Amino acid sequence: MWQVLLIILMLIVGLILIIKGGDYFVDGASWLAEVSGIPKFIVGATIVSIATTLPEIVVSLISAKSEPDMAIGNAVGSVVFNTGVIMAIALIASPFIIKRKDYAFKGLLLTAVMALLTAFCFIGINSTPITFETTATFGYVGAVVLLILFVVFIVENVISAKKNSGCGDEGCPIVPTKHTLILNIVKLIVGAAGIAGGAILLKDNAVKLATLAGISQAVIGVTILAIGTSLPELVTMIIAVKKGESSLSIGNIIGANTIDLAIILPLSAFIAGGSGLFVSNLHLLVTMPVTLLIILIGIIPTLIFKKFARWQGLLMFAIYLVYFVFNILYVVL
Distant-in-sequence, close-in-space partners of 291: CB < 8 Å, separation ≥ 6:
76, 79, 80, 83, 114
Task: For residue 20, count CB atoms less than 10 angstroms from its CB and return exposed for 0-12, middle for 13-18, buried for 19 or more.
Answer: middle
Give, in order, the Cα–Cα distances in Å from 287 to each of 15, 119, 219, 322.
Answer: 26, 13, 10, 12
Enclosing H/E stretch for 256: helix 246-259
Beta strands 136-138 and 307-308 are unpaired
Q: What pLDDT score was predicted for residue 52?
A: 65
User: Mean pLDDT across the chain, nearest whole number?
Assistant: 82
pLDDT category at 310 given cuts 50, 70, 90 is very high
162-174 pLDDT, tens per residue? 676 555 544 555 6
CATH code for the domain of 213: 1.20.1420.30
The arithmetic mean of pLDDT across residues 261-279, rounded, is 88
Among 95-104, 152-161, 194-203, 272-281, name the most confident range.
Answer: 272-281
87-132 pLDDT, tens per residue? 998 889 888 787 788 788 989 999 999 999 999 999 999 887 888 8
Distance CA 187, CA 193 (A): 10
Q: What pLDDT score was predicted for residue 51?
A: 67
208-232 pLDDT, tens per residue? 777 777 776 667 777 777 777 777 7
**Which position has the higher pLDDT, 32 or 267?**
267
Q: What pLDDT score was predicted for residue 161?
A: 67
Q: What pLDDT score was predicted for residue 278?
A: 87
Q: What pLDDT score was predicted for residue 238?
A: 82
The arithmetic mean of pLDDT across residues 1-18, rounded, is 81
Q: What percent of the chain has pLDDT over 90?
A: 25
Q: What pLDDT score was predicted for residue 65?
A: 74
The arithmetic mean of pLDDT across residues 70-77, rounded, is 81
The arithmetic mean of pLDDT across residues 253-274, rounded, is 87
Q: What pLDDT score was predicted for residue 115?
A: 96
Cis check for the bond before 266: say yes or no (omega within 30 of 0): no
pLDDT category at 272 given cuts 50, 70, 90 is confident
pTM for the predicted model, two decimal places: 0.78
Q: How many domains does the chain have?
A: 1
**Which position has the higher pLDDT, 233 or 122?**
122
* Cα–chain center distance at 165: 26
The arithmetic mean of pLDDT across residues 306-331, rounded, is 90
The arithmetic mean of pLDDT across residues 232-237, rounded, is 76
**Which position has the higher pLDDT, 288 or 165?**
288
Q: What pLDDT score was predicted for residue 165?
A: 58
Q: What pLDDT score was predicted for residue 127?
A: 81
Range of the domain at 305: 2-332
